[in-house]
Amino acid sequence: MKVLIAEDDGLAAQQIEQELRTLGHQVVGTAETGRRAVEMARLLEPDMALLDVAMPGLDGIDAAREILAQRAIPVIMVTGHAEPELVARAAAAGVFTYLLKPVRQRELGTAIQIALARFEELQALHQQVRDLREALEVRKTVEQAKGILMRRLQVPEAAAFRMLQRRAASSRKSIREIAESVWEADRFYRDLDAQES
Tell me the domain boundaries of the chain: 2-103, 131-196
Rounded to 5 degrees, φ, ψ at 173 are -120, 165
Q: How far apart are CA 156 and CA 158, in angstroms?
A: 6
Task: Please give the order of strands across the beta sheet that includes 97-100.
Answer: 26-31, 2-6, 48-52, 75-79, 97-100
C-beta atoms surrounding 5 within 10 Å: 25
Q: How far apart are CA 30 and CA 40, in angstroms?
A: 8
Fold match between domain 2-103 and domain 131-196: no
Q: Is the dihedral of CA 78, 79, 84, 86 positive or negative?
A: negative
pLDDT of residue 197: 63
pLDDT of residue 33: 93
CA torsion, ordered 115, 129, 176, 181, to nearest 10 deg? -100
pLDDT of residue 19: 92
Among residues 106, 103, 104, 79, the alpha carbon closest in space to that of 95 is found at: 79
pLDDT in tens, the chain (197 residues): 899 999 988 888 999 999 999 999 999 999 999 999 999 999 999 999 999 988 888 888 899 999 989 988 999 988 877 777 777 777 777 777 878 888 888 888 888 888 888 888 878 887 888 888 888 888 899 899 999 999 888 999 889 999 999 999 999 999 889 999 998 888 887 877 777 76
- Say what the pTM is: 0.64
CATH class of the domain at 2-103 = alpha beta
Q: What are the residues whose beta carbons fall under 8 Å from the beta carbon of 38, sequence distance 6 or more?
A: 58, 63, 66, 67, 70
CATH architecture group of domain 131-196: Orthogonal Bundle (1.10)
